[in-house]
Amino acid sequence: MLKKLDEHILQETVNDMIKKRNNFGSVLCVEQGDDFSWVGSAGNMEKDDQYFIASVTKLYITAVFLKLRSENKLTFDDPISLYLSKDIIDGIHILDGIDYSNDLTIKHLISNTSGLPDYFAYKQPNGKTVASELFEGVDQRWGLEETLTLVKELKPKFKPGKKGKVNYSDTNYQLLGRIIENVTDNSISDVFKALIFEELHLEKTYVYEDVNDCKPVSLYYKSQKIHLSKYMTSIAPEGGIVSTAKEMMIFLKAFFNGRFFPVEELEELKQWNMIYFPGQFYYGIGLEKLWTPRIVSPLHPIKEILGFWGQSGAFAFYNPERNIYFTGTVNQLSGFGHSAAYKAMIKVIKKLDSKSLN
């Protein structure tokens, strides 16, 4: 049992997460089933700090869509044109002279198989990416309207649903957010609040909407503090949730234990395609799986680690093989925090395996 791992070992693990250059603070929450729970921090973060969970927000979007589907309000095979206005759809996906805009489905968006360009990572007419400008401290809004203006000038990667093709695109989630709002006739913030935050009694979790809100800890890009309040208030469906490691854990366990949809439906989400940017992992239907080579643990295969990464270094993952959950953050936008978090999860899993032999 994980409870054989003492707090010293777990604190050592979270301390290791900030040994990498420019990782100034970390939080790690570990739970196994309902029998063990631990949360700790290191550096300039406290264990109950609120922070931007960034793209881990997308897992909350998955929960909402599965909930709406269970209420027969939509299906994943529905064309997005059923839920979005003509001015949004027109010209959004034109590839080699062929207009695929009306072929796009909810499944294409939520599985990143739409082929739509990622507004965040593609070069703008000025030669810079939105990401590079933000990391330089240029704080600006990138809601759906701004995103559409840029994306309709860019070339899609492939036609929707092309076999074996996947492209990580925050554009997809901007569109998914608007679909949720149109289906429910509520703001995405109110939907998250009603279907998830209040349902799970989360008191420190919310959608970031006020540019003067200073509750979340400051983000870092490499060695620099970055203040992106305008941007963070504009990206609710793709990365705008603020939470804590403990409250992320409550959501993660609810997600994988049938609170929002029948647990059997998890298998449907495991339609994996390998993504190589950003990072290397598998992407299914609104769900990620870590790529873990067998050499990492040759005697005790790690098997599935399911959940979601966030650009901020936030993470929420579950290893069904050992019924163990991980949430937290390294609060570093450069991407270097992900490797530290991955190593922490693997270290705890391997310690658990070694204890089980004793």
For 151-179, write each residue's pLDDT tens digit.
999 999 999 999 999 999 999 999 999 99
Q: How far is CA 242 from the centre of its chain?
A: 12
| Residue range 195-207: mean pLDDT, rounded | 98
For 290-324, write each residue's pLDDT tens digit.
998 888 888 888 999 999 999 999 999 999 999 99
| Residue range 176-198: mean pLDDT, rounded | 98
Q: What is the pLDDT of residue 355?
A: 67
Q: What is the pLDDT of residue 336?
A: 77
Asked whether 101 and 93 are in contact (CB, 8 A), the reply is yes
What is the distance between the alpha carbons of residues 243 and 246, in angstroms, rounded to a whole number?
8
Domain ranges of the chain: 2-56+239-356, 59-189
What is the distance between the alpha carbons of residues 300 and 31, in angstroms, rounded to a whole number?
20
- Distances in Å between the Cα of 222 and the Cα atoms of 50, 133, 211, 219, 225 are 20, 14, 23, 10, 8
CATH 3.30.70.260: does it fit domain 59-189?
no
For 250-269, write each residue's pLDDT tens digit.
999 999 999 999 999 999 99
Q: What is the pLDDT of residue 293?
A: 85
Question: What does pTM read for this prediction?
Answer: 0.96
